[in-house]
Protein backbone atom coordinates (compact mmCIF):
# COMPACT_ATOMS: atom_id res chain seq x y z
CA UNK A 1 0.00 0.00 0.00
CA UNK A 2 1.43 3.39 -0.97
CA UNK A 3 2.21 5.69 1.95
CA UNK A 4 1.22 9.38 2.02
CA UNK A 5 -1.69 8.75 -0.35
CA UNK A 6 -5.16 9.44 0.98
CA UNK A 7 -7.56 6.60 0.12
CA UNK A 8 -11.37 6.37 0.41
CA UNK A 9 -12.98 4.15 3.01
CA UNK A 10 -16.04 3.48 5.14
CA UNK A 11 -16.15 3.53 8.96
CA UNK A 12 -17.68 0.21 10.01
CA UNK A 13 -16.97 0.26 13.76
CA UNK A 14 -16.28 2.91 16.36
CA UNK A 15 -14.42 2.34 19.61
CA UNK A 16 -13.72 5.78 21.01
CA UNK A 17 -10.78 7.21 19.06
CA UNK A 18 -10.25 3.87 17.32
CA UNK A 19 -12.13 3.15 14.10
CA UNK A 20 -12.37 0.15 11.83
CA UNK A 21 -12.28 1.38 8.24
CA UNK A 22 -13.22 -0.75 5.23
CA UNK A 23 -11.43 0.11 2.02
CA UNK A 24 -13.02 0.06 -1.42
CA UNK A 25 -11.20 -3.25 -1.95
CA UNK A 26 -12.95 -4.81 1.04
CA UNK A 27 -9.94 -4.79 3.37
CA UNK A 28 -10.36 -3.59 6.94
CA UNK A 29 -7.84 -1.83 9.14
CA UNK A 30 -7.72 0.13 12.35
CA UNK A 31 -7.52 3.91 11.96
CA UNK A 32 -7.18 6.69 14.49
CA UNK A 33 -8.72 10.14 14.44
CA UNK A 34 -6.31 13.01 13.91
CA UNK A 35 -6.12 15.34 16.89
CA UNK A 36 -7.85 15.02 20.24
CA UNK A 37 -11.45 15.04 19.03
CA UNK A 38 -13.13 11.94 17.61
CA UNK A 39 -15.48 13.21 14.90
CA UNK A 40 -16.15 10.09 12.86
CA UNK A 41 -19.17 7.80 13.21
CA UNK A 42 -20.15 4.48 11.69
CA UNK A 43 -21.45 5.01 8.16
CA UNK A 44 -19.10 7.90 7.43
CA UNK A 45 -17.25 7.92 4.11
CA UNK A 46 -13.72 9.04 4.86
CA UNK A 47 -10.30 9.64 3.39
CA UNK A 48 -7.58 7.91 5.38
CA UNK A 49 -3.80 7.84 5.31
CA UNK A 50 -1.85 4.62 5.73
CA UNK A 51 0.89 4.36 8.36
CA UNK A 52 2.52 0.93 8.45
CA UNK A 53 -0.21 -1.54 9.53
CA UNK A 54 -2.67 1.13 10.69
CA UNK A 55 -4.00 4.45 9.44
CA UNK A 56 -5.17 7.94 10.27
CA UNK A 57 -8.52 9.46 9.27
CA UNK A 58 -7.72 12.65 7.39
CA UNK A 59 -11.16 13.79 6.22
CA UNK A 60 -14.82 12.96 6.72
CA UNK A 61 -16.88 13.32 3.56
CA UNK A 62 -20.15 15.32 3.71
CA UNK A 63 -23.03 13.35 5.28
CA UNK A 64 -26.56 12.82 3.97
CA UNK A 65 -27.82 12.64 7.55
CA UNK A 66 -26.72 11.93 11.11
CA UNK A 67 -28.88 10.10 13.63
CA UNK A 68 -28.12 11.22 17.17
CA UNK A 69 -29.52 12.10 20.57
CA UNK A 70 -28.59 15.00 22.82
CA UNK A 71 -29.21 15.71 26.48
CA UNK A 72 -27.94 18.39 28.82
CA UNK A 73 -24.65 16.55 29.34
CA UNK A 74 -23.55 15.30 25.92
CA UNK A 75 -24.38 14.43 22.35
CA UNK A 76 -24.41 10.73 21.44
CA UNK A 77 -24.14 9.90 17.75
CA UNK A 78 -25.38 6.57 16.41
CA UNK A 79 -24.58 6.48 12.69
CA UNK A 80 -24.48 8.53 9.48
CA UNK A 81 -25.75 8.21 5.90
CA UNK A 82 -28.73 6.01 6.77
CA UNK A 83 -31.62 4.94 4.58
CA UNK A 84 -33.79 3.91 7.51
CA UNK A 85 -33.95 3.27 11.25
CA UNK A 86 -35.45 -0.01 12.44
CA UNK A 87 -36.99 0.40 15.89
CA UNK A 88 -37.33 -3.10 17.30
CA UNK A 89 -39.93 -3.54 20.04
CA UNK A 90 -41.32 -6.65 21.71
CA UNK A 91 -44.67 -7.78 23.07
CA UNK A 92 -42.81 -8.37 26.34
CA UNK A 93 -41.29 -6.57 28.15
CA UNK A 94 -43.49 -3.52 27.72
CA UNK A 95 -41.90 -0.68 25.78
CA UNK A 96 -42.01 3.04 26.44
CA UNK A 97 -44.26 5.15 24.22
CA UNK A 98 -42.15 8.17 25.11
CA UNK A 99 -38.89 6.53 24.00
CA UNK A 100 -40.48 5.28 20.78
CA UNK A 101 -41.80 8.76 19.99
CA UNK A 102 -38.42 10.37 20.70
CA UNK A 103 -36.63 7.98 18.35
CA UNK A 104 -39.22 8.66 15.65
CA UNK A 105 -38.85 12.43 16.08
CA UNK A 106 -35.06 12.17 15.80
CA UNK A 107 -35.48 10.20 12.55
CA UNK A 108 -38.03 12.66 11.13
CA UNK A 109 -35.76 15.62 11.89
CA UNK A 110 -32.98 14.05 9.81
CA UNK A 111 -35.31 12.84 7.02
CA UNK A 112 -34.58 9.19 7.78
CA UNK A 113 -37.36 6.65 7.16
CA UNK A 114 -38.46 4.84 10.36
CA UNK A 115 -39.51 1.19 10.36
CA UNK A 116 -41.15 -0.31 13.46
CA UNK A 117 -41.06 -4.07 14.09
CA UNK A 118 -42.97 -5.70 16.94
CA UNK A 119 -41.25 -8.93 17.97
CA UNK A 120 -42.57 -12.01 19.83
CA UNK A 121 -45.76 -12.50 17.85
CA UNK A 122 -45.78 -16.03 19.32
CA UNK A 123 -46.92 -14.50 22.65
CA UNK A 124 -50.54 -14.24 21.55
CA UNK A 125 -52.18 -12.14 24.27
CA UNK A 126 -49.32 -9.71 25.01
CA UNK A 127 -48.69 -9.30 21.30
CA UNK A 128 -52.33 -8.48 20.55
CA UNK A 129 -52.29 -5.85 23.30
CA UNK A 130 -49.05 -4.27 22.05
CA UNK A 131 -50.20 -4.39 18.41
CA UNK A 132 -53.38 -2.53 19.33
CA UNK A 133 -51.34 0.03 21.23
CA UNK A 134 -49.36 0.72 18.04
CA UNK A 135 -52.52 1.51 16.06
CA UNK A 136 -51.98 5.30 16.21
CA UNK A 137 -48.52 4.82 14.69
CA UNK A 138 -49.94 2.75 11.87
CA UNK A 139 -52.57 5.46 11.33
CA UNK A 140 -49.76 8.01 11.03
CA UNK A 141 -48.41 6.08 8.07
CA UNK A 142 -45.49 4.40 9.80
CA UNK A 143 -44.56 0.97 8.48
CA UNK A 144 -45.24 -1.38 11.43
CA UNK A 145 -44.62 -5.09 10.92
CA UNK A 146 -45.23 -8.12 13.16
CA UNK A 147 -42.21 -10.29 13.81
CA UNK A 148 -41.20 -13.58 15.36
CA UNK A 149 -37.47 -14.26 15.65
CA UNK A 150 -38.04 -17.68 17.21
CA UNK A 151 -38.80 -19.40 13.93
CA UNK A 152 -38.66 -19.02 10.14
CA UNK A 153 -42.00 -17.24 10.10
CA UNK A 154 -43.17 -15.30 7.04
CA UNK A 155 -42.64 -12.17 9.14
CA UNK A 156 -38.89 -12.77 8.93
CA UNK A 157 -39.18 -12.73 5.15
CA UNK A 158 -41.17 -9.49 5.31
CA UNK A 159 -38.45 -7.87 7.39
CA UNK A 160 -35.74 -9.10 5.03
CA UNK A 161 -37.60 -7.50 2.13
CA UNK A 162 -37.82 -4.18 4.00
CA UNK A 163 -34.07 -4.24 4.64
CA UNK A 164 -32.95 -5.25 1.14
CA UNK A 165 -30.72 -2.75 -0.61
CA UNK A 166 -30.69 -0.33 2.32
CA UNK A 167 -28.45 0.79 5.16
CA UNK A 168 -30.43 0.34 8.37
CA UNK A 169 -29.64 1.32 11.94
CA UNK A 170 -31.20 -1.09 14.46
CA UNK A 171 -32.47 0.39 17.73
CA UNK A 172 -34.22 -1.45 20.52
CA UNK A 173 -34.70 -1.56 24.27
CA UNK A 174 -33.25 -4.39 26.33
CA UNK A 175 -35.13 -7.64 25.80
CA UNK A 176 -36.59 -6.72 22.41
CA UNK A 177 -34.35 -9.21 20.59
CA UNK A 178 -31.84 -6.93 18.86
CA UNK A 179 -28.88 -9.31 19.27
CA UNK A 180 -31.06 -12.23 18.16
CA UNK A 181 -32.09 -10.28 15.06
CA UNK A 182 -28.50 -9.48 14.15
CA UNK A 183 -27.43 -13.12 14.57
CA UNK A 184 -30.45 -14.41 12.62
CA UNK A 185 -29.68 -12.25 9.61
CA UNK A 186 -25.89 -12.34 9.90
CA UNK A 187 -24.71 -15.63 11.44
CA UNK A 188 -21.52 -15.17 13.42
CA UNK A 189 -21.88 -11.39 13.70
CA UNK A 190 -21.13 -11.29 17.42
CA UNK A 191 -18.13 -13.55 16.86
CA UNK A 192 -16.78 -10.98 14.39
CA UNK A 193 -17.29 -8.26 16.97
CA UNK A 194 -15.48 -10.26 19.65
CA UNK A 195 -12.46 -10.67 17.39
CA UNK A 196 -12.44 -6.93 16.74
CA UNK A 197 -12.61 -6.17 20.46
CA UNK A 198 -9.53 -8.31 21.05
CA UNK A 199 -7.69 -6.62 18.18
CA UNK A 200 -8.38 -3.24 19.76
CA UNK A 201 -7.53 -4.49 23.27
CA UNK A 202 -10.93 -3.26 24.35
CA UNK A 203 -11.85 -6.37 26.32
CA UNK A 204 -15.09 -8.30 26.10
CA UNK A 205 -17.69 -6.85 23.76
CA UNK A 206 -20.69 -5.51 25.66
CA UNK A 207 -22.58 -3.77 22.83
CA UNK A 208 -21.16 -0.41 23.89
CA UNK A 209 -19.97 0.33 20.39
CA UNK A 210 -21.73 0.74 17.05
CA UNK A 211 -20.90 -1.81 14.36
CA UNK A 212 -21.68 -2.12 10.64
CA UNK A 213 -22.50 -5.56 9.19
CA UNK A 214 -23.00 -6.52 5.55
CA UNK A 215 -26.04 -8.78 5.18
CA UNK A 216 -25.25 -10.01 1.65
CA UNK A 217 -22.04 -10.89 -0.17
CA UNK A 218 -22.82 -8.28 -2.83
CA UNK A 219 -22.67 -5.62 -0.07
CA UNK A 220 -25.91 -3.92 -1.03
CA UNK A 221 -27.66 -4.40 2.32
CA UNK A 222 -26.20 -3.32 5.66
CA UNK A 223 -27.31 -3.45 9.29
CA UNK A 224 -25.81 -1.22 11.95
CA UNK A 225 -26.00 -2.56 15.50
CA UNK A 226 -26.17 0.21 18.09
CA UNK A 227 -25.76 0.29 21.87
CA UNK A 228 -28.87 0.26 23.98
CA UNK A 229 -30.06 3.40 25.72
CA UNK A 230 -32.18 4.27 28.74
CA UNK A 231 -32.90 7.86 27.76
CA UNK A 232 -33.22 9.59 24.40
CA UNK A 233 -32.58 13.31 24.73
CA UNK A 234 -33.83 15.65 22.01
CA UNK A 235 -32.22 18.90 23.11
CA UNK A 236 -31.20 19.58 19.50
CA UNK A 237 -34.86 19.90 18.49
CA UNK A 238 -36.37 23.40 18.35
CA UNK A 239 -39.63 23.23 20.35
CA UNK A 240 -41.29 25.49 17.76
CA UNK A 241 -40.62 22.77 15.15
CA UNK A 242 -41.60 19.80 17.31
CA UNK A 243 -45.12 19.41 15.89
CA UNK A 244 -43.67 19.29 12.36
CA UNK A 245 -41.82 16.09 13.28
CA UNK A 246 -44.96 14.35 14.60
CA UNK A 247 -47.08 13.14 11.65
CA UNK A 248 -50.34 13.04 13.63
CA UNK A 249 -49.97 16.67 14.76
CA UNK A 250 -48.48 18.20 11.62
CA UNK A 251 -51.64 18.22 9.40
CA UNK A 252 -53.58 20.17 12.03
CA UNK A 253 -51.04 22.97 12.49
CA UNK A 254 -52.42 24.78 9.42
CA UNK A 255 -55.76 25.11 11.23
CA UNK A 256 -54.29 27.10 14.11
CA UNK A 257 -55.47 30.68 14.49
CA UNK A 258 -51.98 31.97 15.39
CA UNK A 259 -48.87 31.29 13.29
CA UNK A 260 -46.68 30.91 16.40
CA UNK A 261 -49.11 28.63 18.24
CA UNK A 262 -47.49 26.36 20.85
CA UNK A 263 -50.50 23.99 20.67
CA UNK A 264 -50.77 24.04 24.44
CA UNK A 265 -53.27 26.71 25.45
CA UNK A 266 -54.01 29.12 22.58
CA UNK A 267 -57.61 29.68 21.46
CA UNK A 268 -58.39 28.46 17.97
CA UNK A 269 -55.63 25.81 18.04
CA UNK A 270 -56.12 23.22 15.31
CA UNK A 271 -54.00 20.66 17.16
CA UNK A 272 -55.90 20.86 20.45
CA UNK A 273 -59.24 20.59 18.64
CA UNK A 274 -58.05 17.34 16.99
CA UNK A 275 -57.16 15.61 20.27
CA UNK A 276 -59.64 12.77 20.85
CA UNK A 277 -59.80 9.70 23.02
CA UNK A 278 -60.33 7.47 19.99
CA UNK A 279 -57.64 6.18 17.62
CA UNK A 280 -59.15 7.53 14.42
CA UNK A 281 -56.64 8.07 11.64
CA UNK A 282 -57.45 11.77 11.35
CA UNK A 283 -57.31 12.51 15.09
CA UNK A 284 -54.60 12.82 17.71
CA UNK A 285 -54.64 10.34 20.59
CA UNK A 286 -54.57 11.66 24.14
CA UNK A 287 -51.36 9.71 24.81
CA UNK A 288 -49.57 11.22 21.83
CA UNK A 289 -50.67 14.74 22.73
CA UNK A 290 -49.33 14.24 26.26
CA UNK A 291 -46.01 13.13 24.80
CA UNK A 292 -45.96 16.31 22.72
CA UNK A 293 -46.85 18.65 25.59
CA UNK A 294 -44.35 17.05 28.00
CA UNK A 295 -41.55 17.13 25.44
CA UNK A 296 -42.36 20.71 24.43
CA UNK A 297 -42.11 21.82 28.07
CA UNK A 298 -38.84 19.93 28.46
CA UNK A 299 -37.28 21.51 25.36
CA UNK A 300 -38.59 24.98 26.20
CA UNK A 301 -37.12 24.69 29.67
CA UNK A 302 -33.71 23.71 28.31
CA UNK A 303 -33.55 26.91 26.27
CA UNK A 304 -33.89 29.14 29.33
CA UNK A 305 -30.28 28.48 30.29
Looking at CATH, the fold of the domain delimited by 66-225 is given as: Rossmann fold (3.40.50)
pLDDT at 88 (0 to 100): 95
Binding site feature residues: 119-122, 172-180, 256, 261, 263, 269
pLDDT at 89 exceeding the cut of 90: yes
Sequence-ordered list of residues with C-beta below 8 angstroms from that of 33, at least 6 positions apart, any chain: 17, 19, 39, 40, 56, 57
pLDDT at 186 exceeding the cut of 60: yes
> How would residue 20 be classed by pLDDT, with cut points 50, 70 and 90?
very high
Residues of the chain with pLDDT > 90: what percent? 63
**Model confidence, pTM:** 0.88
Section 19-46 average pLDDT? 88
Binding site feature residues for Zn(2+): 256, 261, 263, 269
Cβ atoms of 215 and 221 within 8 Å: the answer is yes
Kindly report the CATH number that applies to the domain delimited by 239-302: 1.10.40
pLDDT at 204 exceeding the cut of 70: no
Q: What is the pLDDT of residues 157-180, one digit of tens each?
A: 889 999 999 999 999 888 888 888
CATH of 6-60, picked from 2.40.50.140, 3.90.105.10, 2.40.110.10, 3.90.550.10, is: 2.40.50.140
Binding site feature residues for GTP: 119-122, 172-180
> How would residue 202 be classed by pLDDT, with cut points 50, 70 and 90?
very low
For the chain, domain boundaries: 6-60, 66-225, 239-302
Q: What is the pLDDT of residues 225-235, one digit of tens each?
A: 987 766 788 99
Amino acid sequence: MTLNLRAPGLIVANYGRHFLVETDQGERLICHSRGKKSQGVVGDRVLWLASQDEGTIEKIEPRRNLFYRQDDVRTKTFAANLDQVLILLAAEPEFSSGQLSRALIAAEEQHITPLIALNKSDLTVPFARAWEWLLPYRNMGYDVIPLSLKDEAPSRQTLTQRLAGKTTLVLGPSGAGKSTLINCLIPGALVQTGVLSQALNSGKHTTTSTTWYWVDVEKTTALIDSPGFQEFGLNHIDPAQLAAYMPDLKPHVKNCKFYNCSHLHEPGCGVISAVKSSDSADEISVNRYKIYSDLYAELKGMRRY
